[in-house]
């Protein structure tokens, strides 16, 4: 007998279920552990900055606007994350030749190497997190998370 949504929501003052989603406990936990692991191994990066590098691995030489769209981050965050990445020489920030408003972000070789190192650590923690969970279940969970994200993205009141 599984709970219906109304069972879940009708609990007196118990917002645990929805707050579990809102707070993203699992996400923030693995995020924290990863950032701690990077620091412990003297890898000068954060998971948030890695999101940018990962996007550049898939498609190099993106504009900041493109990176903002692809990583679901605000343009202000992008500016500051790239500031940090440039400082560490993981990317170059180059002015677009035909549009001086636009910056082109290019992965450096140092950046590529870093991604490979970080990838191993991420995989390690990902495996820890998913211990005892089948690949099928993981796939279900990922698809549901994506679906929820899409549901919210498609809200009328989300224009920015």
Partner DNA sequence: GCTTAATAGTTGCATATACAACTATCGTTG
Partner DNA sequence: CAACGATAGTTGTATATGCAACTATTAAGC
Q: Is 135 in the site for a copy of itself (CB under 8 A)?
A: yes
The dihedrals phi and psi of 128, each to the nearest 5 degrees, come to -60, -45
**Best CA proximity match to 73, nearest among 43, 102, 93, 53:** 53
Pick out residues in 75-104 that bind DNA (CB under 7 A): 75-82, 84, 93, 96, 98-103
Q: What does 80 bind: DNA, a copy of itself, none (CB cut-off 5 to 8 Å by kind)?
A: DNA
Decide: 17 and 6 in contact? Cβ < 8 Å: no
Q: Is 110 in the site for DNA (CB under 7 A)?
A: no
Q: Is 144 in the site for a copy of itself (CB under 8 A)?
A: yes
Q: Is 48 in the site for DNA (CB under 7 A)?
A: yes
- Whole-number Å distance between alpha carbons of 160 and 155: 11
**Best CA proximity match to 112, nearest among 57, 46, 40:** 57
Give the end-to-end CA distance of the chain in Å, rounded to a whole number. Answer: 41
Interaction site with a copy of itself (CB under 8 A):
2-5, 7-9, 13-31, 33-34, 47-48, 50-51, 54, 57-58, 72, 115-116, 119, 122-123, 125-133, 135-142, 144-149, 151-153, 155, 158
């Amino acid at each position: 007998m599984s709970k219906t949504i109304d069972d879940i929501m009708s609990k007196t003052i118990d917002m645990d279920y929805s707050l579990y989603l809102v707070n993203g406990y699992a996400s923030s936990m693995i995020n924290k552990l990863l950032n701690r692991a990077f620091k412990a191994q003297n890898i000068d990066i954060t998971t948030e900055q890695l999101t940018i590098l990962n996007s550049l691995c898939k498609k190099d030489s993106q504009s900041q606007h493109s990176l903002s769209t692809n990583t679901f981050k605000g343009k202000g965050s992008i500016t500051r994350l790239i500031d940090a990445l440039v400082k560490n020489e993981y990317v170059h920030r180059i002015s677009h030749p035909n549009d001086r408003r636009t910056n082109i972000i290019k992965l450096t070789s140092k950046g590529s190497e870093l991604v490979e190192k970080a990838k191993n650590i991420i995989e390690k923690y990902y495996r820890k997190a998913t211990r005892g969970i089948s690949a099928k279940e993981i796939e279900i969970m990922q698809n549901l998370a994506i679906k929820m994200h899409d549901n919210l993205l498609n809200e009328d009141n989300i224009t920015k």
